[in-house]
Amino acid sequence: MSIRHAVPRYWTIQSKEAWEAAQEIGFLHGHSEHAMFIEPYHWMMSQMGQRLPGYDGSYPVWVWTEKPDMLQLHHYTGRAGCVCLTLELKHDEVLLSDFDEWHAVLNDTFNARTQREWQRYCAGRSVVTKEESWQRIFELQSSLVDVKKRNGNPTRRLQGVTGAVALDRVIRVEHLEEVLRERRLYHV
């Protein structure tokens, strides 16, 4: 009897236009025009090239390890409609990172683990460079001093990036419409 390992599931929020384009060409892929922070995106793409064996060099498709709560404003705002796609991707197709620590890369700053380490960096006495500290966003098993808590338990919000996603990897499509723009409420 063979043991079947489940393929991990991930979720991505895309505009209706991106989903329609993916259906026309047969795959979903990232675009440079959606990269709000081009240099950090290129840094992440270089990490994907080093860490993902089959990475195709395309702009990343951003995914979540937990299904996003569409009532939260930060997941998708500013466009008329979107889709939440459930994807099945292998572990080695997705580069996971800590969502909160990713902001050190976005803001081009040192990713300190403690206040003391931050002070040493600011004083020019750090043994770790800013760019070396960014590698910590991938150290998902290490403990954080100021980790957020959910129901009293420490937690990290994990995000992932992957290259182009073939449509046969999309196992569910949820169309979401903004029903009240002023309050940013969504329905399925």
Domain range spanning residue 46? Answer: 9-107+157-187
- The tens digit of pLDDT for each residue in 147-169 reads 554 455 557 789 999 999 999 99
Cα angle 61, 62, 65; round to 5: 130
Q: Report d(CA 141, CA 144) in Å as an integer.
A: 9
* pLDDT given for residue 180 in this prediction: 44
| Structure confidence by residue, pLDDT tens digits, 33-48 | 877 888 999 999 999 9
- Residue 131 domain flag: no
Q: How many residues does the chain have?
A: 188
- CATH code for the domain of 170: 3.20.170.20
Beta bridge partners of 14: 83
CA distance 139 to 65: 16
Q: How many folded domains does the chain comprise?
A: 1
DSSP reduced 3-state for 37: coil
